[in-house]
Structure 1
Amino acid sequence: MSKKNYTFILMIIFIIAACNSGKKGIENALASITVDDLKNHIATLASDEFMGRAPATIGEEKTINYMAEEFKKIGLKSANGDSYFQEVPLVKITAQSPMALDISGGQQNLNLAFSDDFIGGTPQIKDEIQIDESEIIFVGYGINAPEKNWNDYEGLDVKGKTVLMLVNDPGYATEDINLFDGKSMTIYGRWTYKFDEAARQGASAAIIIHETGAAAYPWAVVQNSWSGSQLYLEGNDLSKSDLQLQSWITTESAQKLFGSAGMDYNELIASAAKPGFKPIKMNLNASVNFKNKVEYTKSNNVAAIWPGNKQSDEYIIYTAHWDHFGVNPDFEGDSILNGAVDNATGTASLLSIAEAFTKLPEVQNRSILFLAVTCEEQGLLGSKFYAENPLYSLNKTAGIINIDALNILGRTKDMTIVGMGNSKLDNYAVAVLEKNQRYATPDPKPEQGSYFRSDHFSFAKVGVPSLYLSKGIDDVEHGKEWGLEESKKWLMANYHKPSDNYEPEIWKFNGMIEDVKVYFEVGYNLSITNEFPEWNAASPFKSLRDKMMKK
């Protein structure tokens, strides 16, 4: 047996022993987590009265006040002095006129209609955006990754130009384990990275080609996410750059664009995934013109604390995003995006877990911060703001436990650790699951890039070990294939759509309640130890934590 495996087994035995020794003491706490309480909180948060919980709206006001009142009722203290709120300064930018993306210079001129063919906006704090015949260059995946020996911008000056790129990364396209991380998406596959890199390169416009498999969601999700007002953190880097347009086009529109340039779409996207790819000037130009309404506004993270005892100056943070997309009048009939699964369920679980901590016979050693963050759907803005402006020192924060979209399909034998293998926080989840005759599984769909799409990632980026524990797929009654297929069906039909409603007559709560109790136990076990779990040696975040902890 290797020394590494021996150490891991000893750690698991220690954690399980801690679980068993504390079992009697936490029975009342676990019993306080009930289906009825979860149902009541979800029903409220996902109700039409809360108007889809959009940041900087009346829906936000109702949501954050409800959360603060419930935390106070449970007995938690305000975490920001005498306030339960951490104000997040934002810029709200709304395109005021219908826009179209015009493509000229090819075999035929293309007029791409907003929403159906193309969608986007600007990060610029300007009343009007005007791009006239900007040269289009196909930059493959739009990646500059020196450590991967990959630079799609090598030798290229894109200042004043439009860069056209594919979503995801070359590893996904080829499934070659020697390219990036094979089929598993890296940060370079995320749309947020691609727009940021285009801005760093000095481009005037960036266009991402949507493809459902590579993006992990259908075009309708892009439409819903990019319709209406867009929010940015005040003082963000994009607004200081030359990037005037960040946008998406459909696969069909991309095929027409390549066809107009006299180029073979399939051939070129295949070449983009090969080492040595060189950017291609398409001899096409892009033009777009639209006016903006710019508003300075604010949103709020909700922060409540249950103080610890012997190590009250050390913290564990539970995170869940409270926000969703509000009301979208473009939808006929039901236009409220209630976000019941995503993420009224996770937000409700914060309240249930908080109450469980108050039922412990003895106060845990470390303090527990419950952080319901804003603007996750706008690019993890609320968690990013907290990570850069923490209420409590990050070098005193032992770890993050993130909750995003609970299980509504029924009991599972497993739970998924998204990003499994990144940190020793995994061991705490493994131990609790094993105690409950369950097991941990890695992300079954790593190509979807889920690790980079939820709020724990904002903390990982600054070095704080973070656990993204999510619903399992190995359904107790129907097995893994059924679990995966049903999850896929739900996502394609309901993700970021008005149909993500609270449906207690359809949802199964027996799996949800078991998962919430696991979240509680993981945090509890971390709260009674002296350990600061570390990133594993291969993690890109380890050096940040070492520097933070002065190792």
Structure 2
Amino acid sequence: MRLSRLSLIAVAALAGTACTTVATAPLAPAAAPFQFDPAALSQHVQVLGSDAFEGRAPNSPAEQKTVAYIVDQFAKAGLHPGGAVVDGRRTWTQPVPLLQSNWAATPHLAVHIGGQQIDLTQGNEIAARAPTNGDKQIAMTDVPMVFVGYGVKAPERGWDDFKGMDLKGKVLVMLVNDPDFEGGEGDFGGKAMTYYGRWTYKYEEGARQGAAGVLVIHETEPASYGWATVKNSNTNTMFDIVRADPKAEHPPVEGWIQRDLAAKLFEASGTTFDAMKAAAKRKDFRPVALKAGFTAHGNADAQVITSQNVVGLLPGTTHPDETVLYTAHWDHLGIGQPDANGDAIYNGALDNATGISQLIEQARAFASEPRTQRSVVFLAVTAEEKGLLGSEYYAANPLYPLGKTVGVLNTDSMGVFGQAKDFSISGTAKLGLLDDLVEEGAKLGRTFTPDRHPETGGFYRSDHFTMAKVGVPAISFKSGGDLVNGGLARGEAIAKDYTAKRYHQPDDEWSPDWDFSGMVDDARLLHALGMRLANGREWPNWSADSEFRAARDKSAGDRR
């Protein structure tokens, strides 16, 4: 085990063996270091985040334009094609088959309370996703509704919100996040969100319960974003990977409802929102049948389409079968409902043109320097905004062996507000890759700060998570919040403002006021870590108590 003292302090006793290190081979003679250019980083973001790229939705003309831009930049940087093999030669892309679903027309949605039907407006009281369970028609009238607390079944924690109740054919109403969220302590590790708190898990569990639908109650603080983000992310085109049995993962109806609507449902059932929320925090909670029914009628245009991951490669000199993987997602929400200003293009400049910009310039840096001993792969994935689908497909269909993938360095929504004294990763993690990052950051005069808001579930919200699930050591880098200009107060204010006014909204646009000097520092740090891994013999691992350790250990024989 090799955990630095600085890292131990930073991660507050995240114990467990986290990496295996053997002697490092001598490096090739050093060339003049690549100088990351803030103007180049800004230019990529300005282009990819412009209206001309129409929000970079998968399976759109904007996808073709985006893929062509990334391929062109990878080629100009000096990368080799690293994608699927066609006619004996690697191409620049990995085809990703996806199920695409759109509402053919606005669905009719309603609740029945006290013998009255209350029609709901899509995007206002409710945000119902076009079905991705294979159905092309939703037709349910006055289906019984049941409140199931947080919708969690976690036997390893002694927690079961369902208590054996037969919920087949019912519409389940659930709270977002974990039972610990507000109290800060309990069976789910306190404030930090577990996967049980994510809306993706709640839909999956609803399918396992045989539910007709799952409606997640939105509250801004436990969700970590406002209703505008929910509306914009769930009322447009939906995607999923092509599954053998999609109904095992998705109930017919998936959606969110506003807190006020949930409160009406509870009041009609003789209780209150606060009382139900308090009950749901207890391990002895039992499902509550609501005196309400749910109606949904709509048709979906569902078809299988093919999107693309873009892949560039720099083959290693002595261990080309071992890979260091840099990742970022190229997609955003595309064209959707207009905002108050009439803007319907969800540009996604920060999220995630910044990550792709870093990926391109990182590729240019590696290509300009002597080849590394291990291969370095640069992967721009599709459909992250639809559920981490491009990276999930890669994890299930890897182009390079997962057992010999050294680690994944993901970038998603990077800092464009100047230099920072610190840096972080999304969520909490227990792995040797973090220790390496902390050590390289210290060499550059920067300190590691654990995720200040683990309650947002950041670890489960970006493409490193799908790689972690199959055992590959993976982190998603976060730019620091303790800014040189303005300190932590300014950093927190910027983050709060972005989440409220720009995240998954049309106003996520490039600005000439952005300062890319911080991204330069971040790219330098990520480069140092990648070089260390690509020119070394280290195999980072998860800590002994990590939920991902077993999957990594299964492939240990590949690394002998």
TM bracket, shorter-chain basis: over 0.9
TM-aligned CA deviation for residue 529 of structure 1 = 0.9
TM-aligned CA deviation for residue 106 of structure 1 = 3.1
In the aligned structure 1, how far is the partner of 2:328 from the partner of 2:118? 43
CA distance 1:236–1:334, change in 2 (3 Å): farther
Does the 8 Å contact 1:92/1:231 carry over to 2?
yes
Of the three residues 68, 74, 77, the one matched with 1:74 is 77
TM-aligned CA deviation for residue 333 of structure 1 = 2.3
* 5+ residue gaps, structure 2: 9-16
CA distance 1:296–1:7, change in 2 (3 Å): closer
In the aligned structure 1, how far is the partner of 2:242 from the partner of 2:385? 17
CA distance 1:472–1:377, change in 2 (3 Å): same
TM-aligned CA deviation for residue 173 of structure 1 = 2.6
Equivalence for 1:243: 251
- Is 1:433 matched with 2:441? yes
Show the 5 A alignment for 1:280-295: 280-295=288-303
In the aligned structure 2, how far is the partner of 1:143 from the partner of 1:92? 28
Equivalence for 1:545: 552
Equivalence for 2:30: 25
TM-aligned CA deviation for residue 5 of structure 1 = 6.7
- Is 1:353 matched with 2:362? yes
TM-aligned CA deviation for residue 22 of structure 1 = 7.1
CA distance 1:38–1:24, change in 2 (3 Å): farther
In the aligned structure 2, how far is the partner of 1:3 from the partner of 1:330? 51
* 5+ residue gaps, structure 1: none
Q: Secondary structure at the match of 1:159?
A: coil
Of the three residues 525, 529, 548, the one matched with 2:536 is 529
Equivalence for 2:425: 417
Does the 8 Å contact 1:173/1:273 carry over to 2?
no
Of the three residues 52, 56, 79, the one matched with 2:55 is 52
In the aligned structure 1, how far is the partner of 2:347 from the partner of 2:187? 39
Deviations 1:509-545 (Å, cap 9, x if unpaired)?
1111111111111111111110110101121000110
CA distance 1:267–1:77, change in 2 (3 Å): same
TM-aligned CA deviation for residue 28 of structure 1 = 2.3
TM-aligned CA deviation for residue 125 of structure 1 = 2.4
Of the three residues 353, 358, 372, the one matched with 1:344 is 353
Q: Secondary structure at the match of 2:306?
A: strand
RMSD value over aligned CA atoms?
Answer: 2.4
1:351 maps to amino acid: I
Does the 8 Å contact 2:207/2:248 carry over to 1?
no
Q: Secondary structure at the match of 1:499?
A: coil
Q: Secondary structure at the match of 2:230?
A: helix
Deviations 1:218-246 (Å, cap 9, x if unpaired)?
00001100122111111264345672100
In the aligned structure 2, how far is the partner of 1:240 from the partner of 1:449? 24
TM-aligned CA deviation for residue 548 of structure 1 = 2.0
TM-aligned CA deviation for residue 417 of structure 1 = 2.2
In the aligned structure 2, how far is the partner of 1:291 from the partner of 1:410? 48
Equivalence for 1:140: 149
CA distance 1:108–1:367, change in 2 (3 Å): same
Show the 5 A alignment for 1:31-46: 31=35, 33-46=36-49
In the aligned structure 2, how far is the partner of 1:458 from the partner of 1:3? 25
Does the 8 Å contact 1:106/1:261 carry over to 2?
no
CA distance 1:237–1:423, change in 2 (3 Å): farther
Equivalence for 2:161: 152
Q: Which moved more, 1:327-336 or 1:247-256?
A: 327-336
In the aligned structure 2, how far is the partner of 1:280 from the partner of 1:26? 67
TM-aligned CA deviation for residue 194 of structure 1 = 0.3
1:42 maps to amino acid: V
TM-aligned CA deviation for residue 469 of structure 1 = 1.5
TM-aligned CA deviation for residue 323 of structure 1 = 0.1
Show the 5 A alignment for 1:191-202: 191-202=199-210
Does the 8 Å contact 2:139/2:296 carry over to 1?
yes
- Is 1:222 matched with 2:230? yes
Equivalence for 2:526: 519
Does the 8 Å contact 1:202/1:241 carry over to 2?
no
- Is 1:388 matched with 2:396? yes
Of the three residues 331, 335, 338, the one matched with 1:327 is 335
Of the three residues 242, 267, 272, the one matched with 2:275 is 267
In the aligned structure 1, how far is the partner of 2:348 from the partner of 2:6? 42
Task: Report which structure shows greater RCO (CA 8 Å, sep ≥6).
Answer: 2
Equivalence for 2:175: 166
**Identical columns (%):** 37
Q: Secondary structure at the match of 1:129?
A: strand
Of the three residues 198, 209, 222, the one matched with 2:217 is 209
Deviations 1:126-165 (Å, cap 9, x if unpaired)?
3311012211110000001111110111211111111110
In the aligned structure 1, how far is the partner of 2:300 from the partner of 2:437? 47
In the aligned structure 1, how far is the partner of 2:166 from the partner of 2:6? 51
Q: Secondary structure at the match of 2:59?
A: coil
Equivalence for 2:13: none
In the aligned structure 1, how far is the partner of 2:461 from the partner of 2:353? 17
In the aligned structure 1, how far is the partner of 2:300 from the partner of 2:519? 43
- Is 1:451 matched with 2:459? yes
Deviations 1:385-421 (Å, cap 9, x if unpaired)?
0000000100010100000011011111000122444
In the aligned structure 2, how far is the partner of 1:242 from the partner of 1:378? 14
Deviations 1:472-523 (Å, cap 9, x if unpaired)?
111113222321122111221100111000112x111111111111111111
Deviations 1:102-135 (Å, cap 9, x if unpaired)?
2224375432221100011222323311012211
CA distance 1:5–1:64, change in 2 (3 Å): closer
In the aligned structure 2, how far is the partner of 1:518 from the partner of 1:241? 38
2:70 maps to amino acid: M
Q: Which moved more, 1:96-105 or 1:315-324?
A: 96-105
Does the 8 Å contact 1:309/1:366 carry over to 2?
yes
Matched residues, number: 541
TM-aligned CA deviation for residue 46 of structure 1 = 1.1
In the aligned structure 2, how far is the partner of 1:337 from the partner of 1:406? 17
Equivalence for 1:130: 139
In the aligned structure 2, how far is the partner of 1:222 from the partner of 1:6? 41
Q: Secondary structure at the match of 1:208?
A: strand
TM-aligned CA deviation for residue 169 of structure 1 = 0.6
TM-aligned CA deviation for residue 365 of structure 1 = 0.8
2:519 maps to amino acid: M
In the aligned structure 2, how far is the partner of 1:4 from the partner of 1:470? 20
Does the 8 Å contact 1:323/1:375 carry over to 2?
yes
2:40 maps to amino acid: D
In the aligned structure 1, how far is the partner of 2:194 from the partner of 2:6? 29
CA distance 1:235–1:482, change in 2 (3 Å): same
TM-aligned CA deviation for residue 23 of structure 1 = 12
Equivalence for 1:474: 482
In the aligned structure 1, how far is the partner of 2:477 from the partner of 2:543? 17
CA distance 1:182–1:430, change in 2 (3 Å): same
Of the three residues 38, 63, 69, the one matched with 2:66 is 63
In the aligned structure 2, how far is the partner of 1:7 from the partner of 1:431? 8
2:514 maps to amino acid: W
Deviations 1:400-445 (Å, cap 9, x if unpaired)?
0000011011111000122444100011211111011111111000
In the aligned structure 2, how far is the partner of 1:84 from the partner of 1:491? 34
Structure (1/2) with the larger helix percentage: 1
